[in-house]
Amino acid sequence: MKKADMTPHFTRHILCIGAGYVGGPTMAMIAYKCPQYRVTIVDINPDRIAQWNSDSLPIYEPGLDEIVKAARGRNLFFSTDIEKGIQESDIIFVSVNTPTKTFGVGAGMAADLQYWEKTARQILKCATSDKIIVEKSTLPVRTAQAMERILFSTHNGVRFEVLSNPEFLAEGTAIQDLEQPDRILIGSRQTESGLKARGALVEVYANWVPQERILTTDIWSSELSKLVANAFLAQRISSINAIAALCEKTEADVSQVAKAVGMDARIGPEFLNASVGFGGSCFKKDILNLVYICRHYGLNEVAKYWESVIEINEYQKTHFVMTMLNAMFNTLAGKRIALFGFAFKADTGDTRESPAIYIATRLIEEQAELVITDPEALANARADLKGVEGKVQFVEDPYEAATGSHAIAIMTEWHQFRELDYERIYRSMAKPAFIFDGRNVVNHSRLYELGFNVYPIGKPALTRL
Ligand code: UDX
Ligand code: UDX
């Protein structure tokens, strides 16, 4: 057995490849909770690493600054030297991105595993001692096997053990989710060395997570569980959004329906907020992945079932734009519209797959003039809409965004938007003034009293027209 050289006062050397939304916060938490380990995060993107080493971190996540500051330079390090990182570590987390393939077989559906495979090859090339490799990225079931095949392809005396340890953190609550996880899932081979590697990873988490929350399974169940968890969560949102559309037609109120339904202990109250649609880097990608796998095994009905979760989400975004168009006399041309929020949810600057991207693009096609405001996501919004021809402004101040606008469309449930002075906003807008609440976050009856025509999701519109 070959052992990595370790700095004497650290009992373990942990490496993470990929300093993104998952790798960064997860490793920061491990370093914060386990001063006895040395934790290094590497990335091929030098700008990202420079940001992690600076006062302004590359991602916004409540509570992240504090734990990074506490551990950085002590036992948490950010670096671009991937080769040295691999050589010096005994546990390597792989958290590189696995986007949906845009080309070739499975385009638009299957996971693009090129970064994943490159990383495996790089580990193989640089490793001079035994390693435990931990899949952190969400991957199609049986990817660990592909990783193993690459790692076992040459015999240089170095031994690898591949574990699956999917991350369940949600953006915006990442620190809380990492500190008090519902569960930690670790999948391994059921061989002696597989179980030993699993034990080593359990030991890492046991530094702060109660034993009964650390769940161990075989490797394939672990990989599949992550896809299924995301598919079930997304399915709840699509289910309530489908009912929201029905509520709008029947004068029922989706919030009251969700409350009544969620009080059934078997169903539960979480994740039943009707919205303009779900976004984020995971849900769509992971469901597509599940659908692709089902098709691969000839399970076409099963594939269709899960695909419909995404279809409802697409419908929800289209439906929102149609509501705006119909309400505003079937023309948006030349009208100024303020988009309140661009992030895919509150408390993050992340805009990947944000419904706001689709809605902004559609409104621009209708020749509306957009003014976008968001407390954290303006830089990403700018990048997302680059190349879209039309009139778009990006402003920090929501009051300025609203001034002169015909309509406000709320895209993200930022608490800031609840607390605005809507009387002042109403006065500054073109009349009749419209508000389309894509997140049901403002007080609809009060806004109606102020003079707004109010269009919530899944509730009767309050309008004077
Ligand atoms: C993660 C997981 O990897 C993904 O599978 C899961 O479904 C969602 O969360 P995330 O952390 O959000 O992705 O991705 P991103 O923020 O894009 O971070 C990935 C990082 O890996 C980037 O900083 C990128 O530069 C880096 N990377 C990518 C490498 O270091 N090497 C590569 O070969 C490719
Ligand atoms: C999700 C999973 O929650 C997490 O466990 C997994 O590891 C990664 O994917 P994330 O994408 O960060 O996390 O955000 P999440 O809080 O799940 O929200 C996803 C989307 O659903 C957001 O656009 C959100 O606004 C929307 N949503 C959520 C609703 O529209 N209604 C709800 O009731 C809840």
Q: What is the pLDDT of residues 100-158, one digit of tens each?
A: 889 999 888 888 888 888 999 999 999 999 999 999 988 777 788 888 888 888 877 89
Q: What is the pLDDT of residue 2?
A: 63
Q: Is 247 a catalytic residue?
A: no
Atom of ligand 1 nearest to the CA of 17: 30
Q: Give percent of the chain with pLDDT exceeding 70.
A: 98
Ligand 2 centroid vs 131 CA: distance in angstroms? 33
Nearest CA to ligand 2 atom 31: 273
| Catalytic residue (choose from 16, 34, 247, 282) | 282
Query: Judging by beta carbons within 10 Å of its beta carbon (0-12, 13-18, 19+), is residue 396 exposed, middle or buried?
Result: exposed
Per-chain mean pLDDT for the chain = 95
CA of 359 to the centre of ligand 2 (A): 18
What confidence score (pLDDT) does residue 6 get? 59
Q: What angle do CA 72, 76, 82 make, to 5 degrees?
A: 125
What's the CA dihedral at 399, 403, 408, 414 to 10 degrees?
Answer: -10
What is the DSSP secondary-structure string of 401-419?
Answer: HHTT-SEEEE-S--HHHHT
**What is the rounded average pLDDT of the residues 3-15?**
80
Q: Give the model's pLDDT for residue 228.
A: 96
DSSP letters, 66-119, are: HHHHHHBTTTEEEES-HHHHHHH-SEEEE----PBP-SSTTTTTSB--HHHHHH
Peptide bond into 460 cis (omega under 30): no
What is the pLDDT, as a whole number, of residue 356? Answer: 98
Q: What percent of the chain has pLDDT over 90?
A: 88
pLDDT at 452 over 80: yes
Query: For residue 429, how far is its CA from the centre of ligand 2 (angstroms)?
Result: 32
Residue 349 pLDDT > 70: yes
Q: Is the pLDDT of residue 425 over 80?
A: yes
Q: Does the pLDDT at position 209 exceed 60?
A: yes
Residue 285 has pLDDT above 90, yes or no: yes
Q: Which atom of ligand 1 is nearest to the CA of 59?
A: 16
Q: If you average pLDDT over residues 265-284, what whole number do you get?
A: 97
Under the banding of pLDDT at 50, 70 and 90, the label for residue 463 is very high
Q: What is the mean pLDDT of residues 230-235?
A: 98
Q: Band the pLDDT of 5: cuts 50, 70, 90.
A: low
Ligand closest to CA 41: 1
Q: Which of 97, 281, 289, 354 to mutate to test the pocket of ligand 1 (most atoms within 8 A of CB)?
A: 97
Residue 19 CA, ligand 1 centroid: distance in Å = 7
Residue 1 has pLDDT above 60, yes or no: no
Q: How many CB atoms lie within 10 A of CB 243?
A: 19
Span 425-446, average pLDDT: 98
Residues contacting ligand 2 via CB (< 6 Å): 167-171, 230, 233, 237, 271-273, 275, 278-280, 282-283, 344-345
Ligand 2 pocket mutation pick from 137, 233, 255, 340 by most atoms within 8 angstroms of CB: 233
- Of the two residues 249 and 143, the one the predictor is more confident about is 249
Tell me the ligand closest to 285's alpha carbon: 1
> What is the strand order of the sheet 91-94 is part of?
76-79, 37-42, 12-17, 91-94, 131-135, 160-164, 184-188, 214-218
Ligand 1 neighbourhood includes 282 CB (under 6 angstroms): yes
For the ranges 42-46, 71-75, 136-140, 418-422, the lowest mean pLDDT is seen at 136-140
For ligand 2, atom 5: residue with the closest CA: 168
Structure-token pair, residue 126: 């640089």
Cβ contact 398:416 at 8 Å = yes
Distance in Å, CA 370 to ligand 1 centroid: 31
